[in-house]
Amino acid sequence: MDQQPNNIPSEKPKVDVITKLIGSGFLTGYIPVAPGTAGSALGLACLFIPGFRDIYVLAPCTIVLFWIGGLAAEKMEKVYGQDPGIVTVDEIVGMWLSMWFVPFSYVNIILAFVIFRVLDILKPYPAAIFDKRTGGWNIMLDDVVAALYTNAIIQIVLRVKLF
């Protein structure tokens, strides 16, 4: 009788379709060039859905997607490695959070998109700490940090009335 030792899994874990759909940012993670930008663009596109920008809709959607996205990212990381490029749900959450309490205008959404992408790439403190750690919550949190900085910058710009 040929048996595997208890500490060696018999086969590689698999990711179900729903987890892939959510974790990949509704398939934006499969785009071969700049999947993170594609995920952010999808997050931005959602803001054009009538009523979605209302904070009473946007905030709960952001929180729910953060929660299920963290669970999906955790599962996907176990199969695809640390913070895999295929996971882009964090960019959607980041884009939504970047727009909390920001008046909707083309200038504001373009500003939010550009600032968020730059900060997501640069990983300012403490985003870099989360980026170096494993786990679905860390995948999500580095983008949350970039989004909070983005939102703060936009709020300051709006108060100074540069645009």
- Helix intervals (H) in 2-135: 17-23, 35-46, 55-80, 89-98, 106-122, 127-132
Domain-located, residue 132: yes
To the nearest 10 degrees (0 to 180), the angle between helices 89-98 and 55-80 is: 150
- The alpha carbon of residue 115 and the mean position of all alpha carbons in its chain are separated, in whole angstroms, by 14
Domain-located, residue 11: no
Domain-located, residue 8: no
| Residue burial 91-110, b: 16+ Cβ < 10 Å; e: rest | bbbbbbbbbbebeeeeebbe
Domain-located, residue 9: no
Domain-located, residue 123: yes
Q: Tell me what pLDDT residue 14 has.
A: 87
Domain-located, residue 2: no
For the chain, the domain total comes to 1
Q: Mind listing the pLDDT tens digit for each residue in 24-71?
A: 999 999 999 999 999 999 999 999 999 999 999 999 999 999 999 999
Domain-located, residue 138: yes
Full residue range of the structural domain in which residue 89 is found: 17-160
Q: pTM for the whole thing?
A: 0.89
